[in-house]
């Protein structure tokens, strides 16, 4: 199973009054890893590939378990895997660890749907993307 990894340095504005990264911000981290993943697949910069085609990837289901707090100054390693690809949806798996100690911070998944922004309806993933996602899913660990 291929894994796409990226790192993120926790900013002051990511942490809340409990001095730890607010739980909602992990979903922003996941989204950022996804952004970088599509760029890695050659579909960037930004979501240019998607916006040019008026394709949008709204989330339809998310889940996260929090295992250890992370705080200001931590560098986090976020790993993305493709857990499942269907015609209209993709399920990403995410694992967040502290980069220096390897401590598991959080793990979860996000299911996103391909949608046409003009008609606001689910569509099949364009074959070009589906191919890339499937190839990534199959390829050996990077």
Q: Which stretches of the chain bind a second copy, using CB under 8 A?
A: 11-13, 15-20, 22-25, 27-28, 31-32, 35, 44-48, 56, 58-66, 69, 71-74, 117, 120
Q: How far apart are CB 139 and a second copy at their closest, in Å?
A: 25
Cβ closest to a second copy, residue 3 vs residue 58: 58
**Closer residue to a second copy in complex, CB, 3/63:** 63
Written as one string, the DSSP assignment of 57-121 is --EEEEEEEE-S---TT-EEEEEEEEEEE-SSEEEEEEEEEETTT--EEEEEEEEEE-EETTTTE
User: What does residue 114 show for φ and ψ, rounded to 5 degrees?
Assistant: -80, 135
Q: Which CB, 27 or 40, lies closer to a second copy? A: 27
- Closest distance of CB 131 from a second copy, Å: 23
8 φ, ψ (degrees, to nearest 5): -145, 135
**Which DSSP symbol is given to 126?**
P
Nearer to a second copy (CB atom), residue 84 or residue 138: 84
């Amino acid at each position: 199973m291929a894994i796409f990894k990226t790192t993120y340095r926790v900013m002051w504005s990511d942490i809340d009054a409990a001095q730890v990264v607010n739980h909602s911000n992990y979903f922003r981290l996941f989204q950022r890893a996804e952004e970088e993943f599509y760029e890695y697949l050659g579909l960037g910069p930004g979501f240019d590939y998607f916006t040019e085609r008026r394709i949008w990837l709204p989330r339809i289901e998310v889940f996260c378990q929090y295992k250890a707090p992370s705080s200001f100054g931590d560098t986090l390693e976020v790993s993305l895997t493709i857990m499942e690809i269907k015609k209209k949806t993709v399920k990403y798996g995410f694992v967040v660890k502290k980069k220096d100690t390897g401590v598991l911070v959080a793990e979860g998944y996000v299911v996103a749907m391909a949608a046409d922004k003009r008609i606001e309806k689910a569509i099949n993933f364009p074959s070009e993307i589906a191919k890339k996602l499937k190839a990534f899913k199959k390829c050996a660990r990077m």
